[in-house]
Chains A and B, each alone.
Chain A
Amino acid sequence: MIGRVFPLARPTWPGSVPRPPVRKALGLAYDTDWARSPGARAGRAAVRDLVAAPLLKVIAAPETRGLDRISHLDEPAIFAANHASHLDAPLIVSVLPARWRDELFVGGAADYFFDTRVKAATFAFLLNAVPIERQRVSRQSARVVETLLGDGWSMLIFPEGGRSPDGWGQPHTRGAAWLASRTGLPIVPVHVEGTRRILAKGSRTLRPGSTVVTFGRPLRPGAGTDARALAADLEQAIAALADELGSDWYTARRRAAAGTTPPLTGPESRGWRRAWALDERAGRRGRARDRWPR
């Protein structure tokens, strides 16, 4: 599905050209405190439970796995997931147990979700989104996020920094691991499968399908844990969850132990071979569709 592109859509901003300063009240500076007021929380819960969750059940038919791995957690946690679609965040929120769902905020890219007042207010209200930077942790966003985590809120973050352009994962940034090592809170690896088929990046049409959300065993940062190592562990853990879905749990554990877990980022090759490999991965999961039209 080809999405709306320039000039129908707004042009993308070249990385080499410095952006003009955004207005202070938007982007990272957008104040989302109002979205955690009792009124906003009640409204969000109503929309989530009465509209979003039933809708997602129809559109995405989520199957949840691995909640038993976090059943013993009685503290806030940082949920870190792979990211392939705008559906990921609402889907994960809809399947989370109530004790996290009701006190969860989502790290949203400041340059995408908070660039206009309407978008900022919408995402702050619907997802309790908090602006963060994609590639690094700025002092301002870190302060807000740490305060919220310290107040008992849990966080949903996508360490890839944005949605996958081709279905394979992207290298992780270290934001989630850095926050965990700063706060001492556990990171829960989450793997979401199937959302891209429903709403891929660039697509504007929903194609109902089935999804699987798998929660992994929490990673606990110890004293003096290196954020870099923790980030690598997190990436490995999410890759192992994907492998678990594609093969079986023990095979995935064997491969993880041997360091041969297929990476989320896919093969090194380019172009059609990556897409081909992605389809093969789906085939291994027993969902292969006919390659040729009948």
Chain B
Amino acid sequence: MPRPGFVLEVDRSTPPILTWHGEGFRLEKLPAGRSRVIYAPEPLEPLGDPDEEIRQALLNPLDCDPLPTLLFPGMRLTIAFDDISLPLPPMRRPDNRQRALEAVLDLAAAAGVDDVVLICALALHRRMTEAELRHAVGDRVYDAFAPSGRLLQHDAEDPNALVHLGVTDQGEDVEINKRAAESDLLVYVNINLVAMDGGHKSVATGLASYRSLRHHHNVRTMRHSRSFMDQDHSELHSSNWRMGRLIAASGVRVFQIETTLNNDAFPSQMGFLQKREWEWTARDRATYLATTRSLALAPPRTARSIFQAIKAPHSMTSVHAGEVEAVHRATTAMVYRQQLVPVEGQTDIAVFGLPHLCPYNVNSIMNPILVMCMGLGYLFNLYRGKPIVREGGVAILSHPTPWAFNPVHHPSYIDFFEEVLADTTDPVEIEKNYEERFATDEWYRHLYRTGHAYHGVHPFYMWYWGAHALEHLARVIIVAGSPRAVRRLGFSPASTLQDALEMASDVVGRDPTISHLHCPPIMIADVE
């Protein structure tokens, strides 16, 4: 029986706490009597026979006819699926997407459907490589569809491949992939790693254009999403739901498949990452020491390669299929069951150890903008109710924050960092003065469409992602980061956690209360 999440009150006998630090870890001693550590629930039991469970979900969908009754010879079937940003870390084969795609295609084959196209729902993310696609959909599906051009990647900048479906009652343009919109049936295969994923966001964001996305990927929406993990209080979701309902009303028939994962995020060789420190065995301690010592000696590129090679032993814990909203309700309940940790009240300081990976640097570099997004956009927003840190409090992030970028994946990030952040770090100013130029830049557009680059506007969205935290916090400190890069972000560099706590005392006094989110594995703090 997996144990639920746990909040440890730190006392003098508490061992140092493992804190992620990019491609490495630190053991940090937290002040006794006023610190707490929030641990994720243990991984839920996986489904015994996931393939059979998927099949049953397709045959007995929620608020929808069984999938076989929606399939017929001569129809146009489009199957869209999540891109490389999910799950994190990438899961061991077979990926949930492969299992679900094969199950859908099995039924399509039985129904005699010939016109099938698979679309990777990239939105404005980078195109995936062949190896990445093979990992996601499996060799069987890839070899059956890619050679004949029936495995596509959504192009949000191809005017011929987009269709404008209308405008919501809030004035939001809805423009999505034409093939998906004009199919007799659109099946969307999700991996719901966190509560933010899935629902109407799948189609309304994943298959949308910049013209459509700008209505919810902006500073105002992000500041009114409290948090992204709580769709009832998330303007991001409200906007996507309006768009999703308009998509349905305009005749696009969506059959949603959502799968959830347990938070078994690291292989057994790195088992200490999943454990509470006082439960580490001699083997865990030896592994920790060996890992940290060797990582300290390894060049950054090698350390990055080692961490990027990690494949999570995630297992499927549930699968639901059918009507979008009904499916998403059931899925969200399952995600909450795995990730919610009840937490009492807020503290003055939140400590976030940032891992090597966020949704936008799989097989890539976590550049300073992604450090900001991961810390203030994702980890800060892993809450329901209230943030774990009070308004006017301090966030302490731990990450090396190197001044380093992947020029293939993140070309516009480089210019954003060099040009925009040198001018201002205020999200509103940035949005007003710079967004349109980057979003419509022909060179970025070319790299997005033909290479493996994120869209020109993507670094802006990363910055907006943290806009709510920037407004909420009085100060952000990064421990052991490159001082130059940290200052460019508008944050304060500190050498050690003790220094960071000392610096924070300027804002929160001498005896602040502290929360440390022991993440990953992923959790959601349910703050009362």
Within 8 A of A (CB), among B30-59: 46-52
Of the residues A72, A250, A257, contact of B50 by C-beta under 8 Å:
A72
CB distance from A42 to the nearest CB of B (A): 24
- Using known A-B contacts A65-B139, A217-B51, determine if residue A251 contacts B112 with beta carbons closer than 8 Å: no
The answer to whether A258 touches B112 (Cβ under 8 A) is yes
CB distance from B17 to the nearest CB of A (A): 34
The answer to whether A250 touches B51 (Cβ under 8 A) is no
Question: Which of B19-27, B103-111, B162-170, B318-326 sits within the interface?
Answer: B103-111
The answer to whether A249 touches B98 (Cβ under 8 A) is no
Within 8 A of B (CB), among A62-108: 65-66, 68-69, 71-72, 74
Is A207 interfacial (CB 8 A cutoff)? no
Residue among A69, A220, A250, A258 with most chain B CB within 10 A:
A250
The answer to whether A68 touches B109 (Cβ under 8 A) is no
The answer to whether A250 touches B48 (Cβ under 8 A) is no
Is A248 interfacial (CB 8 A cutoff)? yes
- Taken together as a complex, chains A and B put the C-alpha atoms of A58 and B49 apart, in Å, by 36
CB distance from A78 to the nearest CB of B (A): 16
Within 8 A of B (CB), among A225-248: 244, 248
The answer to whether A68 touches B144 (Cβ under 8 A) is no
For the residues of B in contact with A, the DSSP-based class is helix
CB distance from A210 to the nearest CB of B (A): 16
CB distance from B8 to the nearest CB of A (A): 33
CB distance from B267 to the nearest CB of A (A): 14
Residue among B93, B109, B112 with most chain A CB within 10 A:
B109
Is B3 interfacial (CB 8 A cutoff)? no
The answer to whether B140 touches A244 (Cβ under 8 A) is yes
The answer to whether A250 touches B98 (Cβ under 8 A) is no
List, in ascending order, chain B residues with CB within 8 A of A249's CB: 102, 105, 140-141, 143-144
Is A253 interfacial (CB 8 A cutoff)? yes
Is A256 interfacial (CB 8 A cutoff)? yes
Is B509 interfacial (CB 8 A cutoff)? no
CB distance from A212 to the nearest CB of B (A): 12
- Taken together as a complex, chains A and B put the C-alpha atoms of A253 and B105 apart, in Å, by 8
- Taken together as a complex, chains A and B put the C-alpha atoms of A68 and B141 apart, in Å, by 13
- Using known A-B contacts A68-B93, A244-B140, determine if residue A250 contacts B112 with beta carbons closer than 8 Å: no
- Taken together as a complex, chains A and B put the C-alpha atoms of A23 and B112 apart, in Å, by 57
Of the residues A72, A74, A217, A257, contact of B109 by C-beta under 8 Å:
A257
Is A254 interfacial (CB 8 A cutoff)? yes
The answer to whether B112 touches A248 (Cβ under 8 A) is no
Of the residues B48, B110, B116, contact of A257 by C-beta under 8 Å:
B110
- Taken together as a complex, chains A and B put the C-alpha atoms of A254 and B51 apart, in Å, by 19
- Using known A-B contacts A72-B50, A257-B110, A257-B112, determine if residue A251 contacts B94 with beta carbons closer than 8 Å: no
- Taken together as a complex, chains A and B put the C-alpha atoms of A18 and B457 apart, in Å, by 83
CB distance from B76 to the nearest CB of A (A): 16
CB distance from A266 to the nearest CB of B (A): 24
The answer to whether B143 touches A248 (Cβ under 8 A) is yes
**Interface size range of chain B in the complex:** 20 to 34
List, in ascending order, chain B residues with CB within 8 A of A253's CB: 105-106, 109-110
CB distance from A15 to the nearest CB of B (A): 42
List, in ascending order, chain A residues with CB within 8 A of B143's CB: 248-249
- Taken together as a complex, chains A and B put the C-alpha atoms of A249 and B139 apart, in Å, by 9
List, in ascending order, chain B residues with CB within 8 A of A254's CB: 109, 112, 114
List, in ascending order, chain B residues with CB within 8 A of A74's CB: 48
- Taken together as a complex, chains A and B put the C-alpha atoms of A244 and B111 apart, in Å, by 18
Of all chain B residues, the one with the shortest Cβ separation from A249 is B140
- Taken together as a complex, chains A and B put the C-alpha atoms of A36 and B346 apart, in Å, by 61
List, in ascending order, chain B residues with CB within 8 A of A250's CB: 105, 109, 116, 141, 144-145
List, in ascending order, chain B residues with CB within 8 A of A220's CB: 49, 52
Of all chain B residues, the one with the shortest Cβ separation from A253 is B109
Is B138 interfacial (CB 8 A cutoff)? yes
Of all chain B residues, the one with the shortest Cβ separation from A186 is B49
The answer to whether A68 touches B138 (Cβ under 8 A) is yes
List, in ascending order, chain B residues with CB within 8 A of A66's CB: 140
Of the residues B49, B98, B106, B110, contact of A68 by C-beta under 8 Å:
B98
- Taken together as a complex, chains A and B put the C-alpha atoms of A162 and B211 apart, in Å, by 65
Of the residues B49, B114, B138, contact of A72 by C-beta under 8 Å:
B49
- Taken together as a complex, chains A and B put the C-alpha atoms of A2 and B52 apart, in Å, by 47
Residue among B94, B102, B140, B141 with most chain A CB within 10 A:
B140
List, in ascending order, chain B residues with CB within 8 A of A256's CB: 109
CB distance from B216 to the nearest CB of A (A): 35
- Taken together as a complex, chains A and B put the C-alpha atoms of A254 and B108 apart, in Å, by 8
29 contacts between A and B (CB under 8 A): A66-B140, A68-B93, A68-B138, A69-B94, A72-B46, A72-B48, A72-B50, A74-B48, A217-B51, A220-B49, A244-B140, A248-B140, A248-B143, A248-B144, A248-B147, A249-B140, A249-B141, A250-B105, A250-B109, A250-B141, A250-B144, A250-B145, A253-B105, A253-B106, A253-B110, A254-B114, A257-B106, A257-B109, A257-B111
9 tightest A-B contacts by CB? Answer: A68-B94, A249-B140, A253-B109, A250-B144, A248-B144, A257-B110, A249-B144, A254-B109, A257-B109
Q: A69-B51, A257-B111 are in contact. List 9 more A-B contacts (CB 8 A).
A: A66-B140, A68-B138, A69-B94, A71-B93, A72-B47, A72-B49, A249-B143, A256-B109, A257-B109
Chain A residues proximal to chain B, CB less than 8 Å: 65-66, 68-69, 71-72, 74, 217, 220, 244, 248-251, 253-254, 256-258
Chain B residues proximal to chain A, CB less than 8 Å: 46-52, 92-94, 98, 102, 105-106, 109-112, 114, 116, 138-141, 143-145, 147
